[in-house]
Structure 1
Amino acid sequence: MYLQRQQLVGRTAFITGAARGIGYCTAEALAEAGASVIMSDMISEPLEHAADRLRSKGYDVKTHILDVTKPLACTDAAVRFNEGGSSVDILIANAGISWKDTRAEDVDDASWARVLDVNLNGTFWCCRAFGTYMLQRERGAIVTVGSMSGFISNKPQNQVHYNASKAAVHHLTKSLAGEWADRGVRVNSVAPTYVNTPMSNVTAKLPEYNDIWMEGTPMKRMIEPEEVASVNLFLASDASSGMTGAVVLVDGGYTVW
């Protein structure tokens, strides 16, 4: 009974930022659970390479090029995969970017706008587009990808724009969850710590960052993307059917101190 609730056979999932890292591992996790997966990202070559890796394992995978900062493109994607008898049952709004260490007073307008546009606006455009169809069917599960940086202000790096964007994703998640709960659509978020992905690894190799990060992490290690993907699978499946508006920390204990 309980393992069955984690199965996704007969369901279709759309995942943004799926070419690598957390997005790729989440695509693999959901496909392993039986879902048909639509992997989306901005650039074709790495996306197709990632999809081919999963297809070689026998998984049902499609791809779609998507810039989540374009609201019309998000709407078009939702229309494409929800019309003509098809439907998307699960949305993993994973696409996100970080930025170089910049003091708040030195953050330029373009950098601020870019981080907020991808991390917050892109998440909302996708939730709105795919959530509209889920509401019509009165069923669906959405998982946004926030960050422990939505709870704490990181050190030693300065990243006010990233922190603000992820805190906003958490509250967006709660707001959507409250609006949509009685119409059959659940919205939850995962909030990772420093994850062993290409986005984090450049900084993690510098001792002036990594030493302080590990000092503040009770588990004394970075989290693997598969560990975040496992939580995404749980939140996307019926195993979490009683949850909505939750922000689940996967932070190696960072926020307990």
Structure 2
Amino acid sequence: MDGAVAVVTGGARGIGLATARALATAGARLHLLDLDGDEAKLAAGVLSADARGHCLDISDEIEVDAVFTDIARAEGRIDILVNNAGIAIRQSTTELSLVDWQKVVDVNMTGVFLCSRAAGRVMTEQGFGSIVNVASIMGLSGGGIYPNISYQTTKGAVVNMTRALAVEWAASGIRVNAVAPTWVETDFIAALKEDPEFVSAVERLTPMRRLAKPEEVAHAIHFLASPAAAMITGHVLPVDGGFLAQ
């Protein structure tokens, strides 16, 4: 991946930062996009001298188009996009407000669309590119530990958006794949991890009997983004310790 230009949303921490680190180690030039611009710039500075951090609300169409245009203009191309940014509002369906539903839709579904569209315009023109979306096992199952309807619905949308974009853009040389992680040891589930019953439930439902580490998801993303996966598109790769195999 020497010299490849990679853009990672939600790149300041967690799976995004672990992915950025894996891609940087492989030689890619990183652009980390995050709602916390200061943290994104700090993370980029730690990664490498040529990595860059940007403040971006991925649900804002104007911001997304402007940032991707700036990156493409500065770098001359965009080779890789990792759509990692996401949020969760864990609440039962009967108690979930329309406002909170829309917040999750705006980030997890519309944000992936906007970033994919912006990167896709650049990649279509250059005739190549690789997009990896971060879906979830919740987009391929009904969950079961706690209600999370907005997250499950939007991650299911990401799964089928991945397939639809893969088919639409295959002739343009753009591959689109996704990973579907289980629960990962990041700040995203920090509150949940404090509950011993939750951890026990995850371990019980996972044949490998543990949560995933960010680096384990990052390695799968790295593979799908790389030339090693040149004939793979429209695929959703679970990184779940066997959760979905049961």
The interval holding the TM-score normalised by the smaller chain is over 0.9
- 1:222 to partner: Cα distance: 0.5
The reply on whether 1:153 has 2:142 as its aligned counterpart is yes
1:17-56 aligned within 5 A: 17-55=10-48
TM-score (norm 1): 0.93
Of 115-124 and 206-215, deviating more is 206-215
State whether residues 131 and 176 of structure 2, in contact with CA within 8 Å, keep that contact through their aligned partners in structure 1: yes
Matched, 1:15 2:8: yes
- Cross-structure match for 1:99: 89
Q: Secondary structure at the match of 1:104?
A: coil
Q: Distance in 2 between matches of 1:171 and 1:181?
A: 15
Q: Provide the C-alpha distance between the structure 2 equivalents of 1:44 and 1:82, rounded to a whole number of angstroms.
A: 19
- 1:108 pairs with 71, 79, 97, which one? 97
Unaligned 5+ residue runs, structure 1?
1-7
Query: How far does residue 83 in structure 1 lie from its aligned partner after superposition?
Result: 2.2
Tell me the SS of whatever aligns to 2:160.
Answer: helix
Q: Residue deviations 1:56-113, cap 9 Å, x none?
A: xxx531111110000111111121111266111110111001123x111111001100
Amino acid at match of 1:22: I
Equivalent AA in structure 1 for residue 42 of structure 2: H
Of 236, 240, 245, the match for 1:247: 236
Specify the alignment match of 1:214 in structure 2: 203
Q: Which residue of 2 aligns with 1:5?
A: none
8 Å contact from structure 1 (residues 35, 60) kept in 2:
no
Q: CA RMSD in A?
A: 1.1
Shift of 1:211: 1.4
Equivalent position amino acid for 2:149 in 1: V
- Is 1:83 the counterpart of 2:83? The answer is no
Quote the Cα distance in structure 1 between the aligned partners of 2:50 and 2:73: 19
* Partner SS for 1:19: coil
Q: Secondary structure at the match of 2:94?
A: helix
Q: In 2, Cα distance between the equivalents of 1:85 and 1:142? A: 17
Work out whether 1:194 is the aligned partner of 2:187: no
4+ runs of 1 displaced by more than 4 Å? none
Is the partner of 2:104 in helix, strand or coil? helix
Q: Is the 8 A contact 2:41 2:53 kept in 1?
A: yes
- Aligned identity (percent) is 38
Amino acid in structure 2 at the alignment position of 1:210: V
Equivalent residue of 2:224, what SS? helix
Q: Tell me which residue corresponds to 1:3.
A: none
Point out where structure 2 has 5 or more consecutive residues left out of the alignment: none
- The amino acid across from 1:24 in the alignment is L
CA distance in 1, matches of 2:26, 2:142: 35
- How far residue 45 of structure 1 moved from its aligned partner, in angstroms, is 2.6
